[in-house]
């Protein structure tokens, strides 16, 4: 009888998420050889090549692209089944971190739904920049965090690639000024150096006109015409005007959004990771709930 072994599926998903057999082995607490053998035997049993092995990592084949979504869903369903059979284990305090902008958009819906389904879990939300949240997870100060990954990083499990969008006030045109006035998050923001590097590469002069750690403050500055900004597509308010190459602004590479979990995460954190994987990964930015507009 044909069936999919959960441990093998987990190995396959880990290789895809981390981009290498070595990193997947570290995530799962196994040797690189064990992960490689498991995936190779899996491919032989299926009669399909799932991964293309490259010197700089791996890439999904057409068959792998077909299977990866099913693999994630099967692993999520397994987690849900265990939680349903042993609901008493899904209890306790859960410390969750995410950047301010993503908390404002996705946090309320996700946390409200998760809390309703898991009433014995006490949630504690910490908003901070991704570069600060990752060490907190590694130190065990957070159970789980949703972060923007560094360029080239394979930390955590990739949830989605989020377009980075230029935006400005609807009634003003600060994008025509030279130097270009910018309203940005401070240096701890991982998107900031990408934004400035893109402008430098395009030969566009710029100046920092407004800096804030909070999304409503950035939105206020943009709405007042103080400067333009670049935000993840899912957090761009409908009241803002989107800009692009036609406005003399360079294309920006997308951000990678990932979920990272503490090494010794308990049942509540594993349950939330499954919840985030299935909810955050499939959520269309156009359907994301907006926080109240700043006054």
Is the separation of the CB atoms in 90 and 121 below 8 Å?
Answer: yes
Phi, psi angle pair for 153, to nearest 5°: -80, 150
Cis peptide before 179 (omega within 30 of 0): yes
Position with higher pLDDT, 167 vs 5:
167
pLDDT in tens, 230-252: 999 988 999 999 999 999 999 99
Q: Which residues contact 247 (CB under 8 A, 6 or more apart)?
A: 166, 175
- Tell me the three state secondary structure of residue 172: coil
pLDDT beyond 90 at 174 = yes
pTM of the prediction?
0.67
Is the separation of the CB atoms in 154 and 21 below 8 Å?
Answer: no
Q: How far apart are CA 251 and CA 254, in angstroms?
A: 9
Q: How far apart are CA 130 and CA 152, in angstroms?
A: 15
Q: How far apart are CA 226 and CA 222, in angstroms?
A: 6
- Tell me the three state secondary structure of residue 148: strand
| C-alpha Rg value of the chain to the nearest Å | 21
List alpha helices for 232-293, DSSP H: 267-280
Is the separation of the CB atoms in 146 and 158 below 8 Å?
Answer: no
Task: Report which of 201, 207, 197 is spatially closest to residue 174, judged by C-alpha positions.
Answer: 207
Q: Report in angstroms the alpha-carbon separations of 192 from 164, 182, 227, 250.
A: 11, 10, 15, 14
Task: Report which of 165, 153, 183, 175 is spatially closest to residue 253, judged by C-alpha positions.
Answer: 165
pLDDT over 70, % of the chain? 89
Tell me, what's the pLDDT at 283?
Answer: 43
Q: How far apart are CA 13 and CA 7, in angstroms?
A: 10
Mean of pLDDT values over 143-164: 87
Is the separation of the CB atoms in 171 and 199 below 8 Å?
Answer: no
In total, the chain counts a number of residues equal to 295
CA-CA-CA-CA torsion for 41, 42, 44, 47, nearest 10 degrees? 180
pLDDT in tens, 81-124: 766 676 655 667 888 999 988 887 777 877 788 888 878 888 88
Is the separation of the CB atoms in 190 and 131 below 8 Å?
Answer: yes
Position with higher pLDDT, 181 vs 171:
181
Is the separation of the CB atoms in 222 and 174 below 8 Å?
Answer: no
Task: Report which of 260, 276, 256 is spatially closest to residue 162, judged by C-alpha positions.
Answer: 256
Count each helix (H run) and each strand (E run) in the chain, helices first: 10, 12
Tell me, what's the pLDDT at 288?
Answer: 41
Task: Report which of 251, 233, 146 is spatially closest to residue 195, judged by C-alpha positions.
Answer: 251
pLDDT in tens, 279-288: 776 444 443 4
Mean pLDDT of the chain: 85
Q: How far apart are CA 168 and CA 66, in angstroms?
A: 39
Quickly count: other Cβ atoms within 10 Å of residue 139's Cβ: 9
């Amino acid at each position: 009888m044909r069936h999919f072994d959960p441990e093998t599926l987990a190995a396959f998903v880990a290789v895809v998420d981390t981009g290498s057999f070595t990193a997947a082995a570290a995530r799962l607490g196994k040797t690189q050889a064990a992960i490689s053998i498991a995936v190779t035997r899996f491919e032989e049993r299926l009669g399909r090549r799932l991964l293309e092995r490259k010197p700089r990592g791996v890439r999904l084949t057409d068959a792998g692209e077909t299977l990866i979504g099913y693999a994630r869903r099967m692993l999520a369903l397994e987690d849900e089944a265990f939680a349903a059979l042993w609901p008493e284990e899904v209890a306790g305090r859960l410390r969750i971190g995410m950047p301010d902008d993503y908390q404002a958009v996705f946090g309320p819906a996700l946390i409200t739904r998760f809390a309703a389904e898991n009433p014995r879990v006490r949630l504690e939300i910490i908003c901070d920049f991704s570069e600060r949240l990752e060490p907190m997870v590694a130190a065990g100060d957070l159970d789980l965090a949703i972060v923007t990954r560094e360029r080239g990083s394979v930390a955590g499990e990739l949830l989605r690639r989020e377009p980075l969008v230029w935006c400005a006030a609807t009634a003003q045109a600060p994008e025509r000024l030279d130097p270009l006035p910018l309203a940005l998050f401070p240096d701890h923001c991982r998107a900031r150096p990408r934004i400035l590097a893109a402008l430098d590469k395009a030969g566009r002069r710029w100046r920092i006109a407004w800096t804030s750690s909070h999304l409503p403050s950035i939105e206020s500055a943009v709405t007042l015409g103080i400067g333009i900004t670049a935000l993840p597509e899912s957090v761009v308010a409908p009241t803002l005007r989107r800009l692009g190459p036609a406005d003399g602004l360079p294309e920006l590479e997308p951000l990678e959004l990932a979920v990272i979990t503490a090494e010794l995460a308990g049942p509540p954190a594993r349950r939330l990771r499954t919840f985030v994987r299935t909810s955050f990964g499939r959520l269309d930015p156009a359907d994301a709930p907006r926080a109240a507009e700043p006054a």
